Structure 1
Amino acid sequence: MIPMTINDSRLSVLHQHSAYASRWLAAQPQWAEDLIGGINTPINSLVIEKLLEPASQVLSQEPINLEVLGAQLRVSRQKLMLLLALRDLSGFADVFEVTEAMSYFAEKAIAIGISALHKDMYPLVGQPQSKDGQFLPLIVVGMGKLGGKELNVSSDIDLVFLYEEDGDTQGGVKSISHHEWYARLGKKLIALLSELKSEGFVFRVDMRLRPNGDSGPLVCSLGMLEEYFSVQGREWERYAWIKGRMIYPTELDLAHATSLKGLQDLVRPFVYRRYLDFGVIAAIRELHAQIQQEAEKRSIAHPERAADIKLGRGGIREIEFMAQMFQLVRGGQDPGLRIKPTLEVLKAVHERNYISESDLVQLTDAYLYLRKLEHRLQYWEDAQTHHLPGDDASQGRIALSMGHQNLDEFRKVLSSHRANVANLFENAFVLKQQGVEAESSDEASTIWSPSTDYVELSERWAAWVGSARQRSLSDTARRRFIQLMAQSSEHVRIQGWALEQADRVMVRMMNLLDSISRRASYLALLVEYPNILGRLIDLMAASKWGADYLIKHPHLLDDLLNGFGQYSPEDHPNVYWTKLRSQINVLLDDAAQHGDQAELAMDILRQTHHTETFLTLLAELGIGRDKPLPIEKVSDRLSALADLILGITLERVWPIVANKYGLNPNTPPAFAVIAYGKLGGKELGYASDLDIVFLYDAPDSDQGASERYAMFARRLIAWLTASTSAGVLFEIDTRLRPNGAAGLLVTSIDAFKRYQLREGDNSAWLWEHQALTRARFCAGDVMIGQKFEEIRSEVLAQPRDEQLLKQEILSMRKKVSDGHPNDSGMFDIKHDSGGMVDIEFIVQYLVLRFSAEHRKLVGNWGNIALLGYAAEEKLIPEGLAQSVANAYRLYREYQHRIRLDGADKTRIHPDLMDSSLQDARMAVTTLWQKVLLTQ
């Protein structure tokens, strides 16, 4: 073997860039051989455990020698530092290897230290035990970079010490309280890790993130932590606990899984709100300003520390704050954002389209560059520093260690990264001139009142000013309310709308602000992101239904800000709905682990439905899009969404029923949902009921199937229709099942077939066959769905007597007309002669009359397509078919527009009927006459 010396060329990089390493190699030249031998090996858990082997061996000694243990831990730490510095500075280790290695070493050192101290303390004071005799270990939570597995090479470790329950120790010469035992252990552990000896130290320990900081007890019980969070927990502590991670016992120690779950159940609701928490943005901005002020004070006192790459402008902390901002605002509703490492958070944020790919790349590149630079600053003297040295010679050395050709290149690249971060941070927190402008805006807004030209708004405003509701608001909320009303008024004025419309829009806006005024985060959202106010005004002007929907579900305000970057389902339907299904299931799986599973799950389904419905509305109105979404696409999207929600609900409810009946919950039920009406024809509107029928398949020997599946159907309906804190999901109508409201809630597929094919005394009416023309399988067992489609085709393709069919169709049409009388003198687009119902009855007649010879008509293609197919088969004139198809499309658009404006009935005054509507009604009347009244 070739002997190695501290002057080995392969170690020159250490001597050049680390005075700390040079001193250690001079003092311990025998370490050089191990360093060179390990330069090409990634530093993973096995390498670290080998470094800690001498310390681990001390644990087996009797009695245990804590002095020797401490010395071994300190030596292991210096060896790791030198090895990391060598691999990093030589270009063999990336930032992830360095930070993960330091984090793992810290966890293992803490575990070894606790084991040794426990063993040392046991003979005298025993150990804490639960009531059933199980040992209760000290719970150590790693905070900050240790919690995120991002520890830098010369970092303090931020720890919090916790324990499960109070009591007295068992097994020793004397008994002490649990609290005293844990406190003793904690103090000894801190001393073991941080004591500075000839071998250096293991880690500096910072305990200031514990409840009440330096003034609080060193250890606290989980009960005390819960009380602290609910009573005294401060905003900045929420940021700190984002990174909190139980590092001892380890997450893999199943014997203490209850400790981990207990801790998680306490921390989660403190850190993450169940609603979108935009109020946190101002708090983060304030904290950032305080940090910058402190950094500036230090810079004045110590000019050599001015260039702080962690706390300065465009530094590491700003990247971390951006990640934490998204987590705190949205993590309550999205478990996928409740992760620790900064870059993983930013990647998840990008995947949800909250930041662009270019922003992600800039932030990632800057973070890795700054962390790499941070390590080079700390390798020099093993000091926890983040300041660039002030002299050119030192900066030139650092530039070389970063791989740059010269100092100018280094400064240029560093400046570019910091500028990118600073700009993205300022945009994320709306910092540019925000402070001055916001204050002046607030001052002006306190004296705002509506123009007297706004009659309805003035009345509304007069009732609000001085009301109990206004007085109940905080000063901040009241100021924001008035500020937003003033800004809205200015936006409406710029639009140049007629006075009546402007008045109407402002009243809708005030109603919205009034409804959200007690939830500070929603007012904060509008103040923090004034650019969405224009979109909001556009929505208020375009749709009364949309305004009312937003008032009912104010969390949808977020979608005005971030709802436009998602996949467009009309372009990529399979990708979109598959991705959405996956996201919903992640949320539901997370909900299943906490709290009231059923209520949380129902809320998740409702919130998802609200969001997707609102995005569809925005798309239809053209808000945030290049062009509005056509009505056919709107209905397709709403129908696909309903199918998805029905399918997921079925999957989530079945295990509840299966467990009740002692069945395997993982075996899917032989049960299907059949869609009728608008859902069946994929013409669903925003507030449409769901017409559905439940079918099941079971052998005759399964006597309990009917009862079991009836229970399942009732549970499904309850999940879909129950009013929870998130509202109602759907109104369900099951009257189209065999025998209507008098029939069984669920029907076997065999009985359904006999009923529809009229095999027996109990048989379907013609109107039920009419309804079947727009029916389809939409959720559940695919095999039952296939059987249903076969039955449907067989029923529709039966030969029928033409005259008898016409008589029954005409009779049914009269009943519909009698049920919707219209003496208003206005044209009812849906129910009047020449309207939508006439078109639907024409199509149903064509399907029932001619499907036997023209099988293409059997398909559930929709009314417009079926009219085209009937024309292709020469059953109706092609030109007239096209005119009626256009009429149906026009009627749907008018109906949709009227409903969006908040009207209950879709009626139009004759004076407002343009030639297109008149021509449409004439075409429908002509085809009706030709098809159903001609002999």
Structure 2
Amino acid sequence: TGDGYVFRVDMRLRPYGDSGPLVTSFAALEEYLVSQGREWERYAWIKARVISPAEHPQIAELSKLAQPFVFRKYLDFGAIDSMRKLHAQIRQEVQRRDLFNNIKLGPGGIREIEFTAQVFQLIRGGRDAELRIRPTQAALQQLAINGLLPAPVVADLDTAYVFLRNLEHRLQYLDDQQTQELPEKPEDRQIIAETMGYADYAALLDDLNRHRALVNQQFELIFGAPEEVQDEEQFWREGISAEELQPRLEKLGYRAANDSAQRLLQLQAGSRYRQLPELSRQRLDKLIPQFIVLCAQQTNPDETLSRLLALLEGISRRASYLAFLAEYPQAMQRLTRMVSASSWAGEYMTQHPALLDELLDAREMYQPPQWQQIDRNLQSRLDDCGGDAERQLDVLRLVQQEQTFQLLAMDLQGLLPLEKLSDHLSDLADLLLRHVLKLSWATARKRHREEPRFAIIAYGKLGGKELSYASDLDLIFLYDDDHPDAQENYARLGQRINTMLSSYTSSGRLYETDLRLRPNGASGLLVSTVAAFAEYQQQQAWVWEHQALTRARFCAGDTGVGAAFEDIRKKVLCQPRELATLREEILAMRQKMLDGHPNDTGLFDIKHDRGGMVDIEFMVQYLVLGYAHQHPQLTANIGNLALLKLAGELGLIPVELAGQTKSLYRILRQIQHRIRLNDSLSPCRVNPGEIDVTACNKLWEELFGKP
């Protein structure tokens, strides 16, 4: 009207743009987003919100409908290239229409700040609810909190954003126009400068150019096209032959160049590679020459290349993972080093490719875990799943994989002693067991109380805090509750916990479990009362079950039940025993284990053979069971190394021999761990004489006589 506009309204963002209907049903909108929604519409939807009617119940339905389109369930690194292409189109338009003085669309403008924030939202918003926020400034602050952008960079971008938006408003005040163009007329320039608080336009322009340069620099760091390998076609192109590849690989330092060349050609001829979408195949074609060069920098280039090719084949059908590697060369370098150091690491990454994201930030990757913070973050992520049990289970698995991967990265860098690594892996299992128990009870169909009087007891490697990457969990379930429904409800709870822990889905499984250490073994009840457990341990349990009890501990659930278990455990271990009878029982069980693990290879099995780990563990258990009634401190769950030292200090074994056996046990565990990093399935065996086991044999003879 003559009095101006109330609002300028743009309806072109609706489905099908100008040619689409002004009003769309929810069903039609969903069909459009699924079948025809374009990448730029995802960016637009980040800021979408319902204005009217306020607080309508169907607002949640609309949000639920649009969220999977905007925020993908997986880490969407393809968003970087999509946004790069969109921005290239905008820049072409800027050049065509000479819009370099446009503070929104031009270099270093408002749009580049918005794109910088939005690309992280699109990549990670599906997994991180905190990033599903509309205001650009709030999104930038969250990126700093999450460690995705450095805090100083976010502060600079925030300052530039405020400056540019204030300037935009003043440009539009000038003639009541929808414009972001800097003025041409000297008098208009002076007005703009003064309203922005500057004495003249030149001073304004100095600050404007500084802000725009900073914004553009940060934008290019994120969206600049990745560098390509020089002469990549010499390593990878359609129709390349083994005769061409082999000498080129040999020149790079490959020692089994023919085998590596054949492996490359097998991938190229394989059906998986041939069936890839064109964009994915192009990305893979760019990655392979880079990995060939990176592998050549390792001490075992042929093995590293073989492992990486297996990983690439495994993840190639997920375009987002190929996009991630293409965008982040530093992640490729870290991945190559890890896979070179451990074949198990390569297999783990192949099984859980979402962990590629963990390679981005070396500072974060090599930090020891902060369990309280991890616990809080995990609870927040579980709460965000809104009672969706399947999604919650996926979150638990992902957190387990993320933390395992970070520990693996520190391990391969030599930053974690083996004992500390085992402590962390055990702490991780404890944390996850607490959440699994909580979720299992919360989703139980029948509950007779708000909080279960139920506990998870750990035995074996988890009980002794000697967990390794692939260890299973030896568990039993106890309760102390006289409610009539307790037995039935807790039996179902135990089944539910075991199912959550051990079930396989597309995201893997949490842990393999072994519940056979419960009273009466596999034929016994899945859950036991505290009283029944006490009666069984005192009246019916075999000596080997008391041996297992030396390494058992409460790890999750009701602390009262946990304390009752610990009291029973100490009483059982402190029972006076006839040493000769105990010795016979332990020797019989040791022989049974030897018979169950025959070794006719001529190699030394560092776990099961005489002088190995099992011998040392049996000796520690004998000392605990034989002397805890005199020395109750032996019942402390402090691990085999500390118990050997304590037994020496108490005069039960010679101090010097205790120290030698302790050192041997540490060496055996370290060798076992190193072998497992490159061969997770075969028995851990070395050449005879490679390890001096004299200390173990001497201590065995001291306690049991000659074997």
Q: Shorter-chain TM-score: what band? A: over 0.9
Residue of structure 2 equivalent to 1:910? 687
State the AA in 1 paired with 2:391.
L
1:446–1:479 Cα contact (<8 Å) kept? no
Share of identical aligned residues, percent? 47
Secondary structure, counterpart of 1:628 in structure 2: coil
| CA–CA separation in structure 1 for the residues paired with 2:125 and 2:580 | 64
Q: Does 1:603 align with 2:394?
A: yes
What's the offset of the Cα at 1:856? 2.0
One-letter amino acid matched to 2:108: G
Question: Amino acid of the residue matched to residue 427 of structure 2?
Answer: A
Question: Partner of 1:674: helix, strand, or coil?
Answer: strand
What are the within-5 Å matches in structure 2 for residues 795-834 of structure 1? 795-834=572-611
1:456 and 2:267 equivalent? Answer: no
Instruction: Return the offset for 1:444.
Output: 7.8
- Identify the match of residue 289 of structure 2 among 486, 511, 514: 486
Residue in 2 that maps onto 1:722:
503
- 1:676 pairs with 2:463: no
Label 1:351 to 1:781 Cα distance change in 2 as closer, same or farther (>3 A). Answer: same
Contact in 1 for aligned 2:491/2:527 (Cα 8 Å): yes
Residue 648 of structure 2, aligned match among 871, 882, 907: 871
- The residue aligned with 2:167 is 373
Residue equivalent to 1:592: 386
Q: Which deviates the most, 348-357 or 394-403?
A: 394-403
- The answer to whether the aligner puts 1:383 opposite 2:177 as a matched pair is yes
Give per-residue Cα distances to partners, 1:899-934, cap 9 Å, x unaligned.
Answer: 1102423433326x54xx22xx11111122223338
* Greater Cα shift, 411-420 or 812-821: 411-420
Q: Does 1:529 align with 2:328?
A: yes
Q: 1:792 aligns with which of 558, 564, 569?
A: 569
1:183-262 matched pairs, under 5 angstroms:
197-250=1-54, 253=55, 256-257=56-57, 259-262=58-61
Question: What is the aligned residue count?
Answer: 695
Please state whether the residue corresponding to 2:51 is helix, strand or coil: strand
Label 1:449 to 1:244 Cα distance change in 2 as closer, same or farther (>3 A).
farther
Q: Distance in 1 between matches of 2:35 and 2:439?
A: 36
* TM-fit CA distance, 1:565: 1.6
- After TM superposition, list the pairs within 5 Å mapping 1:337-736 onto structure 2: 337-390=131-184, 394-404=188-198, 407-431=201-225, 434=226, 437=228, 445-447=236-238, 451-452=245-246, 453-495=256-298, 497=299, 501-562=300-361, 564-565=363-364, 568-569=367-368, 576-592=370-386, 597-622=388-413, 627-657=414-444, 660-661=445-446, 663=448, 667-699=450-482, 702-736=483-517
* 2: CA distance, partners of 1:443 / 1:291: 36
What residue is the counterpart of 1:926 in the other structure?
Answer: 698
Return 5+ residue gaps in structure 2 as ranges.
247-255
Contact conserved, 2:229 with 2:290, CA < 8 A, in 1?
A: no
Look up the SS of the partner of 2:517 in the other structure: coil
Q: CA–CA distance in 2 between the matches of 1:886 and 1:364?
A: 56
Say if 1:567 and 1:353 are closer, same or farther in 2 by CA, change over 3 A: farther
Q: What is the Cα deviation at residue 766 of structure 1?
A: 1.2
Task: Report the CA distance shift for 1:419/1:931 in structure 2 as closer, same or farther (over 3 A).
Answer: farther
Separation (CA, whole Å) in 2 of partners of 1:482 and 1:204: 48
Aligned-partner SS, 2:601: coil
Per-residue CA deviations over 1:807-830 (Å, capped at 9, x if unaligned) read 222221111111111111111111
1:460–1:507 Cα contact (<8 Å) kept: yes
C-alpha displacement of 1:493:
2.3
Residue 740 of structure 1 aligns with an amino acid whose one-letter code is G
What is the Cα deviation at residue 406 of structure 1? 5.4
Question: SS at the partner of 1:248?
Answer: coil
Q: Is the 8 A contact 1:210 1:216 kept in 2?
A: yes
Asked if structure 1 preserves the Cα contact closer than 8 Å seen for 2:700 and 2:706, the reply is no
Aligned-partner residue type, residue 890 of structure 1: I
Is contact 2:365-2:410 (8 Å) kept?
no
Could you tell me how far apart the structure 2 residues matched to 1:338 and 1:843 are? 54
Q: Look up the equivalent residue of 2:674 and give its one-letter code.
A: R
Q: CA–CA distance in 2 between the matches of 1:925 and 1:345?
A: 64
What is the CA distance between 1:283 and its match in structure 2? 0.5
Partner residue, 2:77: 278
* Cα 1:553/1:767, change in 2 over 3 Å: same
5 Å-filtered alignment, 1:141-160, equals none
Q: CA RMSD in A?
A: 2.3
Separation in 1 of the partners of 2:502 and 2:543?
A: 30
Map Cα deviations across residues 30-55 of structure 1 (whole Å, 9 max, x no partner): xxxxxxxxxxxxxxxxxxxxxxxxxx
TM-superposition CA deviations, 1:571-591 (whole Å, max 9, x none): xxxxx2222222222222222
Question: 1:306: how far off?
Answer: 3.3
Deviation of 1:386 (Å): 1.9
Q: Does the Cα contact within 8 Å between 2:448 and 2:485 map onto a contact in 1?
A: no
Change (3 A) 1:803 1:531: same
1:168-203 alpha-carbon deviations (Å, 9 max, x no partner): xxxxxxxxxxxxxxxxxxxxxxxxxxxxx2332211
TM-score by length of 2: 0.94
1:745 corresponds to: 526
CA 323–546 in structure 1, closer or farther in 2 if over 3 Å, else same: same
Residues 358 and 406 in structure 2, CA contact (< 8 A), matched pair in contact too: yes
SS in 1 for 2:360: helix
Name the CA distance, whole Å, in 2 between partners of 1:869 and 1:652.
Answer: 40
User: Which amino acid in 1 is paired with 2:703?
Assistant: V
Note closer, same or farther for the CA distance 1:568–1:792 as it changes in structure 2 (3 Å cut).
farther
TM-score (norm 1): 0.71
After TM superposition, give the deviation of residue 392 of structure 1 in Å. Answer: 5.6
Paired with 1:713 and 1:336, the residues of 2 have a C-alpha distance of 34
CA distance in 2, matches of 1:705, 1:379: 72
Q: Secondary structure at the match of 1:465?
A: helix
Contact 1:456–1:504 (Cα < 8 Å) also in 2: no
Cα pair 1:455 1:503 within 8 Å, conserved: no
Q: Separation in 1 of the partners of 2:259 and 2:233? A: 25
Unaligned runs of 5+ in 1: 1-196, 300-304, 571-575
Alpha-carbon deviation of 1:751?
Answer: 1.1
Q: What code does the residue aligned with 1:412 have?
A: D
For 1:471 and 1:526, how far apart are their aligned partners in 2?
Answer: 20
3-state DSSP class of the match of 1:857? helix
Query: Highest CA radius of gyration, 1 or 2?
Result: 1
> Could you say if the C-alpha distance between residues 809 and 392 of structure 1 is closer, same or farther in structure 2, counting changes exceeding 3 Å?
farther
The one-letter amino acid of 2:158's match is: T
Q: Distance in 1 between matches of 2:573 and 2:211?
A: 68
CA distance in 2, matches of 1:287, 1:439: 27
How many Å apart are 1:390 and its aligned residue?
Answer: 3.6
SS of residue in 1 equivalent to 2:50: strand
Superposed CA deviations along residues 735-770 of structure 1, whole A, max 9, x for unmatched, are 111111111000011111122222xxxx21111111
Distance, in Å, in 2 between the alignment partners of 1:674 and 1:652 is 18
Q: Measure the CA separation in 1 of the matches of 2:683 and 2:516.
A: 24
